[in-house]
């Protein structure tokens, strides 16, 4: 299995790189351009402002390199965040002391303020990405997770010893993609179970909510686990979704298709709306295959997952 980088983070860093390279180049070639735009008096000597332009050029190159792999190059993003915060605070202090005119707010906004939230979010994603990989590759955590008992009052470990078990981690019950997944499982259930594989549903609602909700799809007789704290999700490396994974263009397009065209609809939020789903095929406590959603709208082929050869990477 592979964890993929956030396309949103890569795009944000590429845009930041382009902006800083252009700004830095202009500051070196035409150091008074900002003052010409704002009508402020240039400092004397102008060397200090050219130094800021040199910083922009260096950070632009750094952001360009970091855009290829935001998780690996998170120190560059952290440096950019700290400098943006420092320059923003510097403007506030100098404005309060009367050393900078209010018109410089727009310069600070473009050069520093607008990058604070994207950089902070990229760092948060990098942290979640790293944490998810550690959890995913931790056999100790997985062994503890297999002690969890199902609605049939047997542990996951015991269940996977008796039968190949397809564990389906669902999103919240109001999600149209969760409803689509249950529809797909209902449609393919006979095909899955004829191989001797049992389906186990993991959800974030209460047992009563699950029974009522699953009965609409004829799946209320399947074993299930209620995990409102998402402890089992985390044990299998399923993380909170990033902005692009939850609200990207692909998600909206698929949401229209599944929710409106296929009439799966929407409902009230029951569970963590940011939690990502996934599917794992286990036998004798070992993961034979897995499908980790890269977008909330991803639609796994449950029958293909019965073939271990489809796994990208074993869970060890």
Mean pLDDT calculated for residue range 299-309: 81
Residue pair 88/60 in contact by the 8 Å Cβ criterion: no
Q: pLDDT value at position 302?
A: 93
Residue pair 80/62 in contact by the 8 Å Cβ criterion: yes
| Cβ-proximal residues to 130 (8 Å cutoff; 6+ apart), any chain | 71
Q: pLDDT value at position 248?
A: 83
How distant, in Å, are the alpha carbons of 10, 45, 46, 74, 87 from that of 83?
A: 20, 23, 21, 14, 6
pLDDT in tens, 69-79: 888 888 999 99
pLDDT in tens, 189-229: 999 999 999 999 999 999 899 999 999 999 999 999 999 98
Crossing angle (nearest 10°) for helices 74-96 and 47-66:
150
Q: pLDDT value at position 46?
A: 67
Domain segments of the chain: what residues? 7-135, 138-310
| Cβ-proximal residues to 97 (8 Å cutoff; 6+ apart), any chain | none
Q: Which fold has domain 138-310?
A: Glutaredoxin (3.40.30)
pLDDT in tens, 36-60: 776 666 666 666 667 777 888 899 9
pLDDT in tens, 77-99: 999 999 889 888 988 887 788 77
Dihedrals φ, ψ of 70, to 5°? -60, -35
Mean pLDDT calculated for residue range 148-173: 92
How distant, in Å, are the alpha carbons of 58, 84, 88, 136, 291 from that of 70?
A: 17, 18, 23, 20, 23
Q: pLDDT value at position 97?
A: 82
């Amino acid at each position: 299995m592979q964890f993929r980088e956030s396309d949103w983070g890569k795009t944000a860093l590429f845009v930041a790189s382009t902006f800083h390279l252009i700004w830095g180049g202009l500051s070196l070639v035409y150091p008074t351009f900002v003052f010409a735009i704002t009508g402020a008096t240039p400092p004397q000597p102008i060397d200090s402002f050219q130094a800021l332009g040199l910083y922009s050029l260096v950070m632009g190159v750094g952001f360009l390199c970091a855009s290829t792999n935001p998780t690996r190059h998170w120190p560059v993003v952290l440096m950019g965040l700290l400098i943006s915060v420092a320059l923003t605070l510097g403007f506030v202090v100098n404005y309060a002391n009367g050393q900078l005119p209010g018109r410089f707010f727009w310069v600070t906004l473009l050069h520093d303020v607008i990058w604070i939230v994207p950089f902070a979010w990229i760092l948060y994603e990098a942290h979640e990405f790293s944490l998810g990989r550690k959890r995913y590759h931790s056999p100790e955590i997985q062994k503890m997770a297999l002690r969890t008992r199902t609605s049939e009052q047997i542990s996951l470990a015991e269940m996977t010893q008796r039968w190949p078990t397809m564990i389906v981690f669902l999103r919240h019950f109001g999600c149209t993609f969760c409803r689509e997944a249950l529809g797909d499982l209902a449609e393919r259930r006979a095909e899955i179970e004829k191989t001797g594989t049992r389906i186990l549903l993991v959800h974030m609602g209460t047992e009563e909510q699950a029974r009522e909700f699953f009965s609409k799809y004829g799946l209320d007789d399947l074993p299930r686990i209620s995990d409102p704290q998402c402890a089992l999700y985390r044990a299998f490396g399923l993380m909170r979704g990033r902005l692009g994974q939850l609200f990207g263009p692909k998600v909206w397009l698929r949401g229209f298709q599944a929710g409106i065209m296929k009439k799966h609809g929407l409902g009230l939020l029951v569970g963590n709306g940011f939690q990502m789903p996934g599917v794992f095929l286990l036998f004798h406590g070992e993961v034979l295959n897995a499908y980790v959603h890269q977008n909330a709208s991803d639609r796994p082929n449950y029958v293909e997952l019965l073939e271990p050869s489809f796994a990208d990477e074993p869970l060890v």
